[in-house]
Amino acid sequence: MKVRGKLLTSFAAIIVLNAILGAIVYQNFAVVKGNLDQIVEKHAPAANAITDLRLSLAEMVACQGTLLEGKVVYREVLASGKSAEEASRRAEPYYEMARNCAELKYAEVKESHEDFNAVGYFTGMEFEDVNAKIKVYNETFDYVRALERDFRAADWKKGDATSQLLSASAGTTDLAMQQIEQAIDEKLLEVNELTKQTSERSAQIIIAFNIAALILGIGLAMGLANVIAAPLRRLTAAANEIGEGNVDAEMPEIKSKDEVRDLADAIETLRSAIRFLKDRQK
């Protein structure tokens, strides 16, 4: 193999080795990044589920306000001298509106059950814990329905007690949603940090591999240069002796099949020609 071919082969081997190492690092990074991406994909439905739940909770509390408005209307009509039936008839639209609103929001939350499962998957929280927090919301809905029944029955004392329970349940539900939101935000920060660390670590490894490949290349080049230079030095010494007239100078044995071997053959041919001319002069 010619010297140029040896150099090209060495550098080609370095490039191939670097490419293989880079591909391995990239593949490992892609696997880790893919796993992280799968987790992040659950973030949107998880965050949306909690946002929707909190909005529903706010509207559920608004239902309580609507029921209280109905109570005020009932008492005002009654105070005006109208009958209880007329008071109930006037308050009925408020009760009906509150009930329909509460049932609609409750149905929406039930439809979002799979999204609530995404909360557990994304945050790592136990599904039982997530469901327990969401169950508090269901209790709030139950209190709205109970308050509606109390007001329809004009049982104001019981209704006031139920209204207090509803307010307390709404506060507990809101706190539970805040805890879940905090868990979601913390998990998202953790995933983003892991992604950043993975990217930085992969970049560092690739740089290290490139430096190692460069050092290896320099080492190979120096080794190859030494392999080429050593026989050239011996050939130079032999050529100098022949030039000084010592046609019997020892020629180094060159086993390679490259330009160095060609040079050795040329010097040997030159020595034979000089020996021939000397023999003719005798």
Domain span including residue 260:
3-21+209-281
As a whole number, mean pLDDT of residues 243-269 equals 75
User: Residue 204 domain-assigned?
Assistant: no
Q: Are residues 143 and 166 in contact, defined by beta-carbon separation less than 8 angstroms?
A: yes
Q: Mean pLDDT score of the chain, rounded to an integer?
A: 77
Q: CA 118 from chain center: how many Å?
A: 17
Domain shared by 226 and 168, yes or no: no
**What is the per-residue burial (b if ≥16 Cβ within 10 Å, else e) of 116-132?**
bbbbbbbbebeeebbbe
pLDDT value, residue 49: 72
Domain shared by 121 and 237, yes or no: no
215-222 contacts at long range (C-beta below 8 A, 24 or more positions apart): 216/14, 216/17, 217/10, 217/11, 217/14, 220/10, 220/13, 220/14, 221/7, 221/10
**110 contacts: CB under 8 Å, gap ≥ 6:** none
Q: Which of 137-141, 159-163, 228-232 has the highest mean pLDDT?
A: 159-163
Domain CATH for 168: 1.20.120
Domain shared by 146 and 243, yes or no: no
pLDDT value, residue 161: 93
Q: Per-residue pLDDT for 102 more than 90?
A: no
pLDDT value, residue 86: 92
* Domain's final residue, options 196, 231, 248: 196
Residue 17 sits at φ, ψ, to 5 deg, of -60, -45
As a whole number, mean pLDDT of residues 2-14 equals 59
Tell me the pTM: 0.55
Residue percentage of the chain with pLDDT more than 70: 71
Which of the pair, 103 or 199, is modelled with greater confidence?
Answer: 103
Q: Per-residue pLDDT for 150 more than 60?
A: yes
Q: Per-residue pLDDT for 224 more than 70?
A: no
As a whole number, mean pLDDT of residues 211-235 equals 73
In angstroms, the CA 182 to CA 47 distance is 10
Number of domains in the chain: 2
Domain shared by 179 and 216, yes or no: no
Domain shared by 87 and 151, yes or no: yes
Helical axes 156-243 vs 127-152, angle rounded to 10°: 160
pLDDT tens sequence across 12-43: 666 666 667 666 666 666 666 666 666 666 66
Domain shared by 13 and 54, yes or no: no
pLDDT tens sequence across 42-97: 666 777 777 777 787 788 888 888 999 999 999 999 899 999 999 999 999 999 99
